Amino acid sequence: MTRSLTLVTALSRGPRMLLALPAAALAVTLAACGSSAGPSAHPAAPKPAGVAHSHAHSAPTHAASSEPTKQAGAAHRHAHSAPPPAAATPAPPAPPVPTVNPIPQGNGGDQDADNNGGPSDGDGNI
Amino acid sequence: MTVRTARRGRYALAAIAATGIAVVVVAFALPGRSPGHGFPALHPAAAPTRWPHAALPNGTAVLSYPPSLRPLAGDTDAVSVARLGPGGVFQLYLNATRRQGSERLQGWAAFRLRLLRSDDATSARQDAAAEGVQFRGGTGSCVIDDYITRIGGHHYEEVACLVQGRTSASVIVGAAAAARWVRARPLLFRAVAAYLVR
């Protein structure tokens, strides 16, 4: 009888305090994650792979492949960079804006592939 | 008393274990905290011995590429290679170009996307980005993005890196049709990892 009372007492005191620990840790973790998951530069929505296939391939030389839909978000599965430090730091200067379309499309400019619907090269738009 | 102490010890252990499990579960269950900013690790390494090389005309960088790709005509200060499929479809594309304008390591991803939107693409979207990426002979900033071309509405995905060497900077681009990206990416990344700057 005494032992039963002891068990009841232990169950009614210790577990309540101890079980509060995971809940507290959960709340702290959720808060930490939630604060940095706010506005993102890029939504997690799947890529509009279908868009590519809805276009008319008027330039067969550079036509996109008609393979099945890309496995969207493959790049998103990689490790993410560390969140920015909490301390407020002055914002870095905005990168310079590229010159607006100096190379005409439609075999313009240097007749590069990227002026004819091919992949873009690494030029600085000059 | 001994029974109570032992029982409390077990409760404490259980609570600690539960806390750990909860933290791990939450960490893995929640979506990425900053989607779109992750970038796969790039390990700079020399290309396989069979891979051909193409040096920039100014000699400041060397592009190594798989033997299945062939040189393309392009800008005089750049080198381009590609593997074309039936009908001239671009399957793999690599390009290296010396730094031409106001490209900078800081903010490279945003710069590249603006350039795409202002020149070749009707839309461009960042998928991942990184700065401080190690290259052979230098350090770079990289972006993975996908875009729709103005001409033909073709959907490409690319990795584009601005790489700063000791004496100069250049850009390397690896691209493929978006539908082929998952298969093309390992080979393109190997070429990017083998990119040598001086």
| Span A39-48, pLDDT tens digits | 333 333 333 3
Tell me, yes or no, if B29 comes closer than 8 A to chain A by beta carbon: no
Question: What end-to-end distance do the CA atoms of chain B give, in Å?
Answer: 74
Give the ranges where A37-125 is alpha helix by DSSP (H).
Answer: 49-54
Domain map (residue ranges) of chain B = 1-30, 53-197
Residue among B106, B144, B155, B164 with most chain A CBs within 10 A, to mutate? B155
pLDDT given at position A59 = 37
* B76 vs B127, residue with greater confidence: B127
Q: Is 0.85 exceeded by the ipTM?
A: no
Contact between residue B69 and residue B75 where contact means Cβ atoms under 8 Å apart:
no
CATH superfamily label, B53-197: Mog1/PsbP, alpha/beta/alpha sandwich (3.40.1000.10)
Q: Do B155 and A75 touch (CB under 8 A)?
A: no
Task: Please return the burial class of A43, using the count of CB atoms within 10 Å of its CB with bins 0-12, 13-18 and 19+.
Answer: exposed
C-beta of residue B76 within 8 angstroms of C-beta of residue B98? no
**In angstroms, what separates the C-alpha of A88 from chain B's closest C-alpha?**
19
Strand partners, B125: B146
pLDDT, greater one: A64 or A3: A3
Chain A partners within 8 Å of B58 (Cβ): none
pLDDT one-digit tens code per residue, B169-188: 999 999 999 999 999 999 99
Q: Is B36 on the interface with A (CB under 8 A)?
A: yes
Q: Which helix (H) or strand (E) holds A25?
A: helix A2-36
Contact B15 A52 (CB under 8 A): no
Q: Is the pLDDT at A36 greater than 50, yes or no? A: no
SS (H, E, C) chain B: CHHHHHHHHHHHHHHHHHHHHHHHHHHHHCCCCCCCCCCCCCCCCCCCCCCCEEECCCCCEEEECCCCCEEECCCCCEEEEEEECHHHCEEEEEEEEECCCCCCCCCHHHHHHHHHHHCCEEEEEEEEEEEEEEEECEEEEEEEEEEEECCCCCEEEEEEEEEECCCCEEEEEEEEEHHHHHHHHHHHHHHHHCCEEC
- Residue A4, pLDDT above cutoff 60: no
Radius of gyration of chain A (CA): 28
- Whether residues A29 and B22 touch (CB distance < 8 A) is answered with yes
Quote the pLDDT of residue B130.
97
